[in-house]
Amino acid sequence: LLHPGVPDNDATLPTLLTYATVQASEQIIARRGQRLWLDEEKGVYLDILFPDSDVSQITDANDGSVVARLVYGESEFLFTGDVPKDTEEYLVWQSSDSVEADVLQVGHHGSRTSTSDYFIGWVSPTYAVISAGHDNRYGHPHDEVIETLEKFNVEVIGTYDEGMIMFESDGKRVWRK
């Protein structure tokens, strides 16, 4: 179980941590610079890009979201959790060479608080996946985010339309399953 160590405002995290303990799951507090090898033989790993410090005292859990980049050969997937635009900018400033990805999990369910033009320009994804419920009460994804992605010619795919979304890779290219 990989998590940032951010206290949750509801019972979700404590329940999850209790379940992980009961299941004897390894628990890892995510920090920038960690590399988790998923398959060393094939060269598949997950790099943690954020958070870069202890986030246990923050008040907004979104600000401590884990940002990770999954790499398999030349294929890259970027998972941004719910980080806001200022964290996206910080990530580019910290490591612009580590944010490029074929597939981007769009931040904060497609909320206008994430997915800036600046960030999309650096990530340069082919696909953008938005995880949001159909007709959700927040109105996710917001039109501004869809417009930004379309401006960069990114194919937008949403769970709100399609349910589960899957990709495959051979380490050289990525395609939808």
Q: In degrees, to the nearest 5, what angle opens at C-alpha 133 toward C-alphas 138 and 130?
A: 90
Residue 114: is its pLDDT beyond 70? yes
pTM for this one?
Answer: 0.93
Cα–Cα distance for residue pair 1/147, rounded to 1 Å: 34
Least confident of 12-21, 45-54, 168-177: 12-21
pLDDT in tens, 91-113: 999 988 889 999 999 999 999 99
User: What pLDDT sits at residue 173?
Assistant: 95
Q: Which amino acid is at 41?
A: E
- Asked if pLDDT for residue 17 goes beyond 90, the answer is no
Q: Please give the helix or strand (H or E) that residue 69 lies within, else none.
A: strand 67-72
